[in-house]
Copies of this chain bind each other. A is one copy, B any other.
């Protein structure tokens, strides 16, 4: 029937954790949404033949590739989804763009502002639909926060505090994976976690004029992943804390660490304005806490809204009834929104521009932490 005509071919780079999560997202879009476009799982790409074959079978792809260039050139692939580590963002993404494929790329978009800028310019030139996979923008609670701020709920923004804290790198005996090497990851905790909270800061508060930061690498050497007992140098940050001077006049601060005892998945923000405040904690992702300073002073308080059910933005999209979302559901929402844009050739947000600006701030934070000064944030 007409279903055929609305299909869009998808090729995914990577069958790791993120490759699986995205693949499930494509599948769930078809099932849970009344989506205007239905993804067709064309191909998946990975380095190791037996693993990528298994993944293709299990996840329901028609075929697999070991060479990302081949996947990109596959004529049935209309959308390339890049879930590879940052050192594989630049080249494959540009290749995809130049082959006219719509592209969604994991965060951080690149290892530096310069890489990201080229990627962004290529995408803009070619006219494909491009997305950075800042999945937390798709939290219904975050979408609600954004809407409330836009509608003036908090009045003039004055103060922002954001964190993304985890503890997975606290153990110094954990091996030196790509995450701990600038060459591959670009940034450390700042890129893996901080990029998310910086993106939410931009989403909610707008652009940052300048930053001042302090960073530490608590574990300076880690065992090489090989069988030897040798150690290698960690050349990225374990923790970064940065002051933010926003263009809207507000003052802010973000903290990010992957060596933060006690915090499993602590993506939090709070914004305070002249007329109200909003706070959020990913560990309780179905809740938004809002404070209306315009209420009578004896009735003010933070109100805990459970952002659930079809009264809340994008929620009905996901589960047929007002269930409580998990973080896994975000991939589905993100992909549904992206596929809709891609199928209509419509600009998508967050785009590569948002990925680029995130790199711009991160580069400024790295520089500030090195030279001990406030550093302006570049604007494209």
Interface residues of A (CB under 8 A from B): 1, 3, 16-17, 20-21, 23-24, 27-28, 30-32, 57-60, 144, 154-155, 158-159, 161, 163, 165, 167, 170, 212-216, 218, 239, 241, 243, 245, 249, 251-253, 255, 257, 259-265, 270, 272-277, 279, 282-287, 290-291, 293, 296-306, 308-309, 311-312, 318-329, 372-374
Contact = CB atoms under 8 A, between A and B. Distances in A.
Contacts of A324: 265, 282-283, 285, 326-327
Interface SS, A side = mixed
Nearest to A249: B216
Contacts of A328: 318-319, 323, 325-326, 329
B325 A311 contact: no
A138 to B, nearest CB: 13
A245 B32 contact: no
A265 B306 contact: yes
Nearest to A279: B262
Nearest to A20: B320
Identical copies in the complex:
4
A372 B376 CA distance: 12
B241 A251 contact: yes
Contacts of A212: 212, 214, 243, 372
B239 A262 contact: no
Contacts of A1: 57
Given A155-B261, A265-B306, A304-B304, 13 more contacts: A21-B319, A23-B31, A154-B261, A159-B260, A170-B293, A260-B277, A262-B270, A262-B272, A265-B322, A297-B311, A301-B306, A324-B326, A325-B328
A322 B297 CA distance: 13
